[in-house]
Amino acid sequence: MTEAERPSRTAPPDRTDPVPVAPDLIAELTARGETVAVAESLTGGLVVATLVGVPGASAVVRGGVVAYATPVKHTVLGVSSALLASNGAVDPEVARQMASGVREALAVDGEPATWGISTTGVAGPDPQDGKPVGTVFVGIAHADGAQAYELHLDGDRDAIRRATVSELLARMSSTIRARE
């Protein structure tokens, strides 16, 4: 497991607000001529809303799929139904498959989005799929493959959802910069 894939505990204070990260991410994607598609579960559209809140986002954001219900992860994003049946929706491979699947689901003229990003996890109030509240997986996919990152976040439902967005956007920014 790489350092980036190690579980993190509660987002650091500078990552609690996703809004400051979003403009830099949009600017970087724009400069590179790359696009992003978003698949969300526990964040329920908060990731794509944060991204499209940035002026100029329409140049790079393909859109988002809120796959809140587990079966939608299979029917719309192509996540393996066997995986969902055996592991549930709160799983690193589910996050990877969601991120890869949304690249294809939001293809334009047959061209997948450059990047796919995803969120799946437990915001509470109750555990899900045997996982405690605050267990989250975020996925980042590119044509070269997909990675999932495990997060263990504290707080109420809203805090967990916001921290998930912050962590995902920060990790996406780092991933893009690492490809230079």
> What single-letter DSSP state applies at residue 69?
S
Alpha-carbon gap, residue 129 to 16, rounded angstroms: 26
List Cβ neighbours of 76 (8 Å cut-off, separation of 6 or more): 65, 67, 101, 105
Confidence of residue 9 (pLDDT cuts 50, 70, 90): very low
Confidence of residue 4 (pLDDT cuts 50, 70, 90): very low
Alpha-carbon gap, residue 8 to 136, rounded angstroms: 10
List Cβ neighbours of 85 (8 Å cut-off, separation of 6 or more): none
| Per-residue pLDDT tens digits for 11-47 | 443 445 666 899 999 999 999 999 999 999 999 999 9
Alpha-carbon gap, residue 25 to 17, rounded angstroms: 14
pLDDT at 179: 87
Alpha-carbon gap, residue 56 to 78, rounded angstroms: 30
Q: Are 148 and 69 in contact (CB under 8 A)?
A: no
Strands 145-152, 8-9: pairing is parallel
List Cβ neighbours of 91 (8 Å cut-off, separation of 6 or more): 83, 120, 129, 137
pLDDT at 10: 44
pLDDT at 6: 47
Q: What is the helix (H) or strand (E) element at residue 158, kind and residue range?
A: helix 157-178
| Per-residue pLDDT tens digits for 65-118 | 999 999 999 999 999 999 999 999 999 999 999 999 999 999 999 999 999 999
